[in-house]
Amino acid sequence: MDAVELKETLGGGGHVFGCMVSAMASTRWGRSLASSSLDFVVIDSEHGSRDRTEIQQLVGMLRQAEITPIVRVPVPKSEWVAMALDAGAAGVLAPYCETVEEVQAVVATAKWHPLKGEYLTRAVRDGVFPSDATKEYLQNRHKESIAIIGIESRPGHENLDAILAVDGIDGIFIGPNDMSTSLGIPDDYANPAYLEVLEDIIAKSEARGVPVMIHQQTIETSSKAIELGARFVMHSTDAGLLRSAALEQMNALREVAGGAARNARNKVDTV
Domains of the chain (ranges plus CATH)? 3-240 (3.20.20.60)
Helix (H) or strand (E) holding 36: none
Q: Looking at residue 84, what is its pLDDT? A: 95
Contact between 76 and 105 under an 8 Å Cβ cutoff? The reply is: yes
Distance between CA atoms of residues 195 and 180, nearest Å: 10
Distance between CA atoms of residues 73 and 45, nearest Å: 5
Amino acid, single-letter form, for residue 128: V
Q: Which residues make beta-bridge pairs with 40?
A: 18, 68
Q: Please give the average pLDDT of every successive group of 10 residues along the chain, which has 271 residues.
A: 94 96 87 88 90 92 95 94 94 96 93 89 85 93 94 96 94 96 95 96 97 95 95 94 93 87 63 54
Q: Looking at residue 36, what is its pLDDT? A: 86
Q: Looking at residue 81, what is its pLDDT? A: 95
Distance between CA atoms of residues 7 and 88, nearest Å: 17
Contact between 95 and 71 under an 8 Å Cβ cutoff? The reply is: no
Question: Angle 6-199-202 (CA atoms, 0-180°, nearest 5)?
Answer: 25
Kindly report whether the peptide bond that precedes residue 114 is cis, defined as omega within 30 degrees of 0. yes
Distance between CA atoms of residues 148 and 63, nearest Å: 19
**How many residues make up the chain in this entry?**
271
Contact between 156 and 163 under an 8 Å Cβ cutoff? The reply is: yes
Specify the pTM. Answer: 0.90
Contact between 107 and 172 under an 8 Å Cβ cutoff? The reply is: no
